[in-house]
Structure 1
């Protein structure tokens, strides 16, 4: 595979999602509001968990990492999409495209492994509560989070190196609002079949292996919760786990739809809609799901808010 000579002087064209019709202008405004809410929600979650010592537990540590990943993910795609729409300039440089692919793939992979770590954390907390401080010590949690970031980064490096090693020709128009590997490969002048098979194998590892850990963890959790004698204990356990399962369902469902379908069954419109769901909407929903269904997060927020209000009166 060789670099195309034109690649160093030519940009790709992101066709985007919106035109300048009134309805699309309204939709763009909605997306921008969702983006701002996601920024606010995830930033608030990270700050609350950092500031409140009662939230310095493994579950909330992983939740802060999830919010940080969501924050980075939405900043990888939406600002460039908004700039292109507002400026009318739809181009993106080779370096910009490679950067988007790296962060996008890295964060998708990192979230896969992090969600599996969060499921294992709930399994240990509910099924082995006496051993929880040892099995989920601060060092173990830090290693699990670091492993999620590292494995995601390795996947990102491999996919960027391979994708940008192809030569591209034709109109160089990407039918998407950001540089995504499945949308970029059809523009290649060279055969990408081997690489597409490699992507499929990576998806099996990055998606199905964590899913297997999540399913195994929650099967054990459900069995343990059913055997609990206390109705209040069952309710608390299900409330904690249901938030995580909602996030897992949204995230993995969309990711599998995008990356585990054959190329012949792909539709640019479907890919853009599903990608918008888990790169824009899901980062906004995650903080809401965890905060609205979690009394400790609500308590921490009210505590910080109360301190802010009391501080306003100090001269």
Structure 2
């Protein structure tokens, strides 16, 4: 899929998706979660309809925690795309790589609109699959000079540091603690599946922007209460859905600080008001972005001869 969709393609497609959603061109479906596998594993279904382009579809994502011991991915994802005119299937995609790219690009778009323009240092907690596209996308939209990385697995953090330095040409320091990772960072990204806070809100610098990218249900929590309640503005994709789904925001005392990113991008409401504001982008999964990226990938693959279009035959259509 990455042969057909570049990082710059994804940034353009998802910025457009936020604006399409703002104008009503993409309709959001309801989140559906179901238990699967062992206790604690989940299946998440995220539907959406692109009204203007006449497609609908949904992403299905699962976590199977014991897959690591089987030599299999712990997170799996597929996208199912259909015609909104006939209901016929148009594509089925393995969406694991695309999901990571989508999440990274969403973090970059949020940083572009909420972080201080003079940001040069990023702190990332968690050096797994998600951390690379998050940093790569932020580096495409901002002039990042250094990244601090912290992970409970120091070896994995060192592998990430090599990637940052050799592939992205960004200085990377491996921190010994979350405090060392975030204390001088102007953007902090949490890229974990933690069920308890991974940083102390007292360690954050004034003016810091946080991308909380890992927690997507009430049983998961990356941010502590101090971080959440220090925030001058909390931005998300759909405030109502996020408040109902995010373990990070369960402790939020002032829900009036929560705003939708598409409305900030359109200029309807302000984001950051001062250089000292602390801002948070809380992401729990936004089906609008999955739809937009799946549709872009589908069209790009067809134009470049990758993959195979999935559709009923004309005989099936008549029955």
- Fold shared by both chains (TM-score > 0.5): no
Report which of the two has the higher share of helix. 1
Q: TM-score range by the shorter chain?
A: under 0.3
Report which of the two has the higher share of strand. 2
Q: Which structure has the bigger radius of gyration? A: 1
- For CA contacts below 8 A with separation 6 or more, give which structure has more relative contact order: 1
* TM superposition score normalised by structure 1: 0.27
